[in-house]
Amino acid sequence: MLETRKDLKERIEAQTAQIAQLEADIAEASDKTEAAEAAAQIAATEKAELAETIETLEGERDDLAAKVAEFEAASEADAETIVELEEAAEVTEQKVAEVAAEQLATVGHPPVEVDDSSPDVGASASAIRDQFAAMPAGEERSAFYAKNRDILAR
C-alpha cells in the first residue's frame, strides 16, 4: 500500500494536531496539579493551625477545670467553716442562756419561759447550708444558691 504524498501530508497534519492537543492536555493537567498541590499546602497549613488552636483550647479547658476544682474545694471548706461557726454559735447561745439563768437565779428571779413552738430559724438555715454543701457543682446548685442567697451569704 503505497501512500501518496498528499495522504502522508494529511496524516502528518493529523498527527501534529493530535500532538498539539496532547501538549495542551498535558499543560492543563500540569496547571491542575499545581493548583491541587497549592490547595493541599493550604489545607496542611490550616490543619496545623487548627491542631494548635485545639491544643490551646484543651490547655485552657484544663486550666478552667483546675480552677473549678479549686473553687469547689474552697466552697466545701467554706461550708464546713460555716457549719463549725453555727455549731459554735449554738454552744455560745446555750452558755449565755445558762449564765443568764444563773444570774437571774442569784437575784431571786425565776427562770424565763421560752416558747418552743416558734420555728428554729437557725436550724433551718443550718439545714440549707448543709444541703448546699452536699450539692455537686452545676446549674441546680447555682439556682439553689440564688434562691437561698441571704442565708448562705451569712
* Placement of cell 499545581 in the chain: 34
Summarised one tens digit per residue, pLDDT across range 84-113 is 888 888 889 888 888 888 888 888 777 666
Who contacts 25 (Cβ-Cβ below 8 Å, separation ≥6)?
Answer: none
Buried b (16+ CB within 10 A) or exposed e, 7-44: eeeeeeeeeeeeeeeeeeeeeeeeeeeeeeeeeeeeee
Q: Read off the pTM.
A: 0.41
Residue for grid cell 418552743: 116
pLDDT digits (tens, 9 = 90+) for 55-71: 999 999 999 999 999 99
